[in-house]
Amino acid sequence: MPLSQVETPIEARKGVDSIWARLRVEAASAAAEEPILASFLNAAILRHAKFADALGYRIAAKLADAQLDAMLARDVAEEALAGDPDIVQQAAADMIAIDERDPACLSLLQPFLYFKGYHALQAHRVAHWLWKEGRQTLAFHLQSRVGERFGLDIHPAARIGRGVMIDHATSVVIGETAVIGDDCSILHEVTLGGTGAAHEDRHPKIGKGVLIGAGARVLGNIVVGDGARIAAGSVVLEAVPPGCTVAGVPARIVGNCCDEPAKSMDQSLPQGSG
């Protein structure tokens, strides 16, 4: 059962434990193959007792700065992970999503150690927890660090489901009232933005299993239905029905989707849609 469909805490815990065991095996193998990285792999993965501990350590290592050193950053991350254990389930599901959808991913080590889209999303999950706890100043600090470190901007109030892949991640912008459902795939330079200076609900609501191609702009408080596909470079200003493919500037419906576009990553347009 995919982690995005886990129904009970026991099943979720078993899923995370299985992923953690695999990650440790891969880290040990990599350390043996590349001894120069053995110390790094030990610090990042092998010396930790559980996935949550390693995740908090990795988030802190990426976000630490002069204002929030690595120890303090780790304290913040661990507080969030303890305060909302679902963050750990989400992080595991996000990692599996990358492993299954990205042909450049050779093992779980790549997203966990190196992929900035994964790191930015996990840092956002910590910032979002802070936001819900009323700690907006610290949440904004983490948002700023994500922007400086990874080159994308996710407002800490944005709500993002599990099993989400933000591929490459450069120049992605996700606004304050945006919502992204489970199992979505979002490529670089995507904007989920507003259409003006309104202060109310003003950003897109993305359903489950949606694929958003590189450079697409989805603007305004509109709904993109489950299983839809937005072609690269499109500008979407109106609601998108479930299971449809839209393309163009402004975007229009050009056909139906393949099954599970976010998982297949199939970005080809239907014949005759040009």
Distance separating the N- and C-terminal Cα atoms of the chain: 38
Give the pLDDT confidence score for residue 6 in this predicted structure: 46
Say if residue 40's pLDDT is above 50. yes
For residue 155, count CB atoms less than 10 angstroms from its CB and return exposed for 0-12, middle for 13-18, buried for 19 or more: buried
Q: Which CATH code fits 165-264? A: 2.160.10.10
Report which of 120, 113, 173 is spatially closest to residue 142, judged by C-alpha positions: 120
Q: Tens digit of pLDDT for each residue in 110-159?
A: 999 999 999 999 999 999 999 999 999 999 999 999 999 999 999 999 99
Give the pLDDT confidence score for residue 15 in this predicted structure: 87
Domain ranges of the chain: 7-151, 165-264
Give the pLDDT confidence score for residue 4 in this predicted structure: 44
Class of domain 7-151: mainly alpha
Does the fold of domain 165-264 match that of domain 7-151?
Answer: no
Give the pLDDT confidence score for residue 267 in this predicted structure: 87
Query: What is the value of pTM for the model shown?
Result: 0.92
